[in-house]
Structure 1
Amino acid sequence: MEILEHEGRSLADAAEQAGPGAPVPACPDWRVRDLLRHTGVVHRWAAGFVADACPTPRPMEEHPDLDGTELLAWYRAGHRALLDTLREAKPDVACWTFLPGAESGLGFWARRQAHETAVHRWDAQAARGGDPTPVATDFAVDGVDELLRGFHARRRSRVRTPEPRVLRIRATDADAVWTVRLSQEPPVTARDAAGDAECEVSGPAAELYLSLWNRLPVPEVTGDQALAELWRKTSAVV
């Protein structure tokens, strides 16, 4: 929860410094105002499932027609409400989640919103200018795991290959490696280094985290470069 609190505040601070009209480099169609509207709506959407113990999916609200200081205040209020909701919820609250492997609804939403907010905090700091603050190694490893074994385990993942292929992801500063088996079906990822891989993407966990979310170039690629390029072109979460 501390990470979610820190990242959310840092996002707001960077957005205020950048100004609502600043472009967001990783999202060419977005300005900072779009980033705030999106993240603020996601925070409210997530909090609602926990607060209401909602067992089924429901749509997000429309983006607010706010800008400038009013938009910043709206974003900060939603972030605070999300934190309060998560902290006050019963540990065993039952609610809808959307990734496989979640042990609890509360744990799922706390984790998902921490990573959602961290990536968009990086976006806000990139829009502000200067070097964005890197994420911690352990947190980055968890984020890579969520992306590979959560988001891309779903049928909607577009990372597919006509024939079976194997991609390996390796953090060079942590005991973390993933083997991603690609085919015409959704990727199947194991937290191991079993078997041979045709391509390996490696680097510090914080850089892998952002590169796999298409925020930074891939740190290092060995083997078949086409598999790394396939990821870049098809891995956007939908």
Structure 2
Amino acid sequence: MDTSDLLATLDRDGQLLAEAAARAGLDASVPTCPEWRVRDLVTHTGAVHRWAARMVGESLTEPIGIPTAPEADGPELLAWFREGHRLLVKTLTAAEPGLQCWTFMPAPSPRAFWIRRQAHETAVHRVDAESALGDGSSSAGFSSAGFSALDAEFAADGVEELLMGFHGGERSRVRTDTSRTLRVRTTDSGAVWTVHLSDGPPRTERTAEGPVDCELAGPVSDLYLALWNRLPLDALGCTGDASLARLWRERSAIG
């Protein structure tokens, strides 16, 4: 996906997150992240934005810790979030194509990595903020129709980042004692991924070929939200061995 489109999505979703947080109130529960209040969501995402902006803006080649959020609350906390979001968008926009800095997944360039990663980080947490506008009881009451729309190309890119990026490395906990295969199929965009599971890191291919043990299928925006654990998996079609779908739900969380 073009970096200019990812930057535009990052800009939009950060603004939508702040708007939803203000409407829901900082004390509201976040159904998609049951352990959080909106305050936690805003402080986490705002701190990540500043962390990424510093990595890129200072061309840091070694990782640094995510900064601590201020003691601010109410409108001051939301203003702090908006300021950090604007700083991130400005920093990424101004970054040179030849930028060299630390990253944690393969990418065409560090600039491309940070734009993509922060676009999806912000989109997922924008969904969290919008979920707080519901009754606050359970994520089971939400569907993709209840959230601001996800562009199909963006959603497919996010599914690929999750499957081939986060779950393509040693830290992935989605593993099986015996070799199993999970297919992820979009019903609207034509994109298909096949995930080979074993006792090592998952290996994902862009293919619809070969037999599988389980297939998850649905509109690409629903797949994006469900694979990021923001929609229940029963929002998707599931054929074959449903235990593989449950395995994903139980072990795929990103720390």
Normalising by the smaller structure, the TM-score range is: over 0.9
CA distance in 2, matches of 1:42, 1:162: 35
CA distance in 2, matches of 1:148, 1:120: 19
Q: 2:242 aligns with which of 225, 228, 236?
A: 225
Alignment coverage as a number of residue pairs: 237
Q: 1:123 aligns with which of 102, 123, 128?
A: 128
2:238 aligns to what SS in structure 1? strand
2:183 aligns to what SS in structure 1? strand
Amino acid in the other structure paired with 1:162: D
CA distance in 2, matches of 1:66, 1:187: 41
- Note if 1:42 corresponds to 2:48: yes
1:8 aligns to what SS in structure 2? helix
Q: What's the offset of the Cα at 1:63?
A: 2.7
Please give the TM-score of this superposition, normalised by the length of structure 1: 0.98
Structure 1 partner of 2:208: 193
Structure 2 partner of 1:69: 75
Amino acid in the other structure paired with 2:115: A
Give the root-mean-square deviation of aligned CA atoms: 1.0
Structure 1 partner of 2:198: 183
CA distance in 2, matches of 1:204, 1:39: 27
CA distance in 2, matches of 1:221, 1:67: 43
Q: What's the offset of the Cα at 1:182?
A: 0.3
Structure 2 partner of 1:235: 252
Structure 1 partner of 2:229: 214
- Note if 1:202 corresponds to 2:217: yes
Q: What's the offset of the Cα at 1:91?
A: 1.2
Structure 1: which 4+ aligned runs deviate by more than 6 Å? none
- Note if 1:146 corresponds to 2:144: no
Please give the TM-score of this superposition, normalised by the length of structure 2: 0.91
CA distance in 1, matches of 2:71, 2:180: 46
Structure 1 partner of 2:172: 157
Q: Which runs of 5+ in 1 are unaligned?
A: none
Q: Which runs of 5+ in 2 are unaligned?
A: 1-6, 135-141
| Identical residues among aligned pairs (%) | 55
